[in-house]
Structure 1
Amino acid sequence: MKKFVQIFSLWMFFLLGACTKEPGYHVEHYKEIKIEDIPADIKVPSKVWDLLEFKPVTAESHEEKKAEGHGEAKAEGEHGGGEEKKEGGEKKEGAGGKDIVFSELSVFLVEKNDDIVKGEAVKISLPKGGGEIDLAQYITTNKGSFYVGFDFPQFTESTAQKVVFLSKTRKRRIDDKVLGAGCNQFLDITTTYTKEMAKAGLKVNTVRERYITVLGGTFFFSAQKAGTTYISQVTFKDSRYQNLFCEVP
């Protein structure tokens, strides 16, 4: 129950923008940044990889918890049970002989309060296979909120979608709450992601670096079309606050 409350607290941050009528990350003009470097190989826990390949969920593969009032199952699991390495920007064969293709991904950072995002609104285009974003390059040290949005084009006309978050930050106690999922815990956030992207996006706050606890880690995206699974990812770090991460990002 204690672990459930901690994970629930983390995802309450993602729901803060649910009732807002503000455009959030859906603004007309962005400062566009294109990253063309091929992403480095990353290790993906086998249980996360199973989710991305849309394998049937069993009690043995990962534990599910349902957040009261959210209407969405939250999946969590320890880092272990083997790892699979993702080769950035390449094609491979997945389970059942299905092709896996690594695809492009765009990330949006848009300030709610003035002087929070350098450039006010930024669109970061990542290459096939995704990549890493150092938030120190885009987020100021001022106090306020900003929105985070994602665009994974392969979701269009797909028959199945999956978004999984793998946390790489430590749990923290701020005031009377414990924030964060903890090191190497993963969450199936597909339903919450879909709802929030249709609204303002994920709203996070810079006070006491809360945004790092929410975003620090890797967001995986997977879409299924016919016999092909399309996958991308983005890893968020902040080189100014390495002590908040499970390991030096």
Structure 2
Amino acid sequence: MIKFVQVSIFWMSVVLAGCTSDPAGYHVSEYHDVKFEDLAEDLKVPTKVWDMLEFKAAPEGEHAEGGGGEHDAAAAPSAVGKNLVFSEVNVFLVEKNDGIVENKAVKLLLPKGGGTVDLSRYITKKQGSFFVGFEFPQFETATAKKVIFVSKARKRRLGQQIFGSGCNQFFDITDRFLKEMAGEGIKVNTTQERYVSVLGGTFFFSAQKDNDVYLAQVTFTHSDYSPLFCEAP
């Protein structure tokens, strides 16, 4: 069961800031495909997040404390006049430095509704950088799009910087996310497990088409670094 809370602006500055050194990023010619067979787990989503995913929320960039009750996504009623439909989503992990990603470039094909990615299965212990990309096909013809990042990583200090957005935070990152996906993707680094604190949490996708709202989520965990998370993955 996945619980969604609220993310701080810090995530935006750490994850999405200035990736300019490698124009290709996660866009490469070949990937090692990994197909997930298990269906996504049931989701518990705060009312405020549901409002955002149903395109009823405050303007992008505004964020508020989590809470206000929860909906069970698997059994949640549709918004007035709208049908909620779970859809597929794909994740790309592509190394910038040699030996960082198993098989160099991996494409994870998640089922309808999305799923959980244990990064320990794909990222090595070597130090270096890699790119993360997402493909939510429903965005291609959507009349409205929404991407929410929900932090499940504890804040921690490394040198002069704080990594991890903390618990009980969510944030609408739609515009900047779409810009980064059109470019090289999200670049993260494995030194001192920085990438775990940056990615630890859930990306939630919503696309509106006429009376249908298509939903999917990707939750990143790491079975080797559970103490870095707000709760055990």
Aligned residues: 227
Indicate yes or no: 2:53 matched with 1:49.
Answer: no
2:16 paired residue number = 15
Indicate yes or no: 2:173 matched with 1:186.
Answer: no
CA pair 56-183 structure 1, distance change in 2 beyond 3 A: closer
Gaps of 5+ in 2: 1-6
- The 2-side partners of 1:181 and 1:110 are apart by 24
In structure 1, give the amino acid aligned to 2:148: V
1:139 paired residue number = 123
Please show how residues 1-249 of structure 1 align to structure 2 within 5 Å. 7-57=8-58, 73-87=60-74, 93-249=77-233
Per-residue CA deviation, residues 1-55 of structure 1 (Å, 9 max, x unaligned), is xxxxx94443223234543343000000000000021111121121111100001
- The 2-side partners of 1:108 and 1:179 are apart by 22
1:69 paired residue number = none
Query: Normalising to structure 1: TM-score of the pair?
Result: 0.86
Report percent identity of matched pairs.
Answer: 55
Determine helix, strand or coil for the equivalent of 1:235. Answer: strand
Query: Normalising to structure 2: TM-score of the pair?
Result: 0.92
- The 1-side partners of 2:64 and 2:167 are apart by 10
Displacement over 6 Å in runs of 4+:
none
- The 2-side partners of 1:185 and 1:107 are apart by 23
- The 2-side partners of 1:146 and 1:17 are apart by 14
Gaps of 5+ in 1: 1-5, 58-63, 65-72
Mapped contact 2:19–2:187 kept (Cα < 8 A): no
2:3 paired residue number = none
- The 2-side partners of 1:146 and 1:200 are apart by 10
Q: What is the alpha-carbon root mean square deviation over aligned residues?
A: 1.7
